[in-house]
Amino acid sequence: MWRKASVAALLALAVGYLYHGSPELPEQILQYISLPNFPQSSQGGQSRQRSLEEVISAAWETLITLPSRQWSKVAVGVNACVDVVVSGVGLLQALAVDPGAGQDHEVLHSKEDLKEAFIHYMERGAAAERFFSDKEAFQRIARAAAEYPGAKLYVGGNAALIGQKLATYPDLMVLLCGPVGPKLHEMLDDQIVVPPESLQETDEYHLILEYKAGENWGSVKAPQANRFIFSHDVSNGGMSSLETFVASLEEFEPDLVVLSGLHMMEGQGRELWEERLKEAVSAISDIRRDIPIHLELASMTDKDYMNSIMQEQVMPIVSSIGLNEQELLFLSQAGEGPHAGLTTWKGVPDVGRVSDILLWILEQHGRSDPLSEADLTRIHFHTLAYHILATVDGHWGNQAAAVMAGARVASSQACGLQSVDVSKVELKAPLEFYSSHTEPREKLMINPAQPVTVWRRGNVTFHMTPVLVCKQPLRTVGLGDAISAEGLVYSEQRSQQPL
């Protein structure tokens, strides 16, 4: 026993000596060196994994700092609604729908379409959003959802959710423009300013069918928790508040504009979205060029529509975009970019492939070339296990803190908490990965004590941090909006041009 104690003491002294020269070493050493088998109060084999989560969470608290120059006024538009959140399997059973085979539908026309699309995404653990074309059928389903035991009403719509998150910062003034009905107006934070022109007599409702990791329905088992969203939303579908939003900016004088809701137009049919998209681009172009615009994307299925947004319409005139793994891959498929042959991600999206697509977007549709007329210089990518911020050099600052802040809010909000509880989260990100899926590529690692891995490709810099994934998420809706909002709060736009 004395011999074991002596060995432990010597090892502790050695680690302490090394720590004096390199504070990052002890955590790395303790991951690989086994101490004598003293009795443990925790559950043996899980102690190392828990240690990594504790180190990452503590590092976030130390390293996440606000930029020296912060936003004072942010204008957000233009999709807003009331979300009815309900168990997807429970609601479909209440609608007397039997489980069966899954099939994706670009637009939902019936309960049968809804069931098939829900199963299609549930068995993949993927998020999706669809338009329900039949108004009367949607209203019947919405009534059933509102009456379902445990159904909850929340602020909904990307713009309203982003506005709500931004409003948690007391020094930040937030303008929200969108179709705001009486119920939604009642639920909004008092700090949010809503122009009178945005108020309407009735609310728009979106149905959020949630499912848990491991939940079964028929032969389908969800690999992870997620949600399926659908609505019959004409106001948001036509982005009817966009012109009001742009007109409000002159008086409000924001130093950042956040735009969302373009995905809602997809379900209106090609003839309508083609014309409305041109009008939207014209309205957005009226925003002063010195005000950065962040575009929050969402689930889409029409490649022609995505191409219109990406190539000649919206993307070149915004400064920043936020998107998840489904939206990133679909964007590449629509534009025949890198890894467009992938039908879907398998498990945790490969960091190298994600990096390839992000670089392609900034090179083809952004301002990675200093001579380009495009404004796009920043992409905030988020997936369940990790986040990446890709920025063109010289345009953005404080991005390490920004990507960590986004990951931290994903970890806490999914668990329904104000801060990260390391006992309720787990690390799912790869600790080793490559900067690209193709050559030349660099092998990279995550250091839990400094949990931001940085690499460069050309004049684009990538900041990647792991997410501490909530083991039993309470609510998945709005996580992407909270992530993007938090990342923007901690971001600083630089005025100088890239070298």
Give me the active site residues, please: 481
Closest CA to 115 of 133, 131, 95: 95
Q: How many CB atoms lie within 10 A of CB 491?
A: 27
Q: What percentage of the chain's residues is helix, strand, coil (to nearest 5)?
A: 40, 20, 40
Closest CA to 479 of 467, 492, 465, 464: 467
- Using only C-alpha atoms, what is the Rg of the chain? 23
Question: What is the three-state SS of 370-417?
Answer: CCCCCCCCEEEEECCCEEEEEEECCCEECHHHHHHHHHHHHHHHHCCC
CB-CB contact of 323 with 381 (8 Å): yes
| End-to-end CA, the chain | 63
**Crossing angle for the helix pair 135-147 and 111-122, nearest 10 degrees?**
60
User: Among the residues of 22-100, which ranges form H helices?
Assistant: 25-32, 47-63, 88-94
Cβ neighbours of residue 397 closer than 8 Å, sequence gap 6 or more: 67, 491, 492, 493, 494
Cβ neighbours of residue 164 closer than 8 Å, sequence gap 6 or more: 155, 188, 189, 192
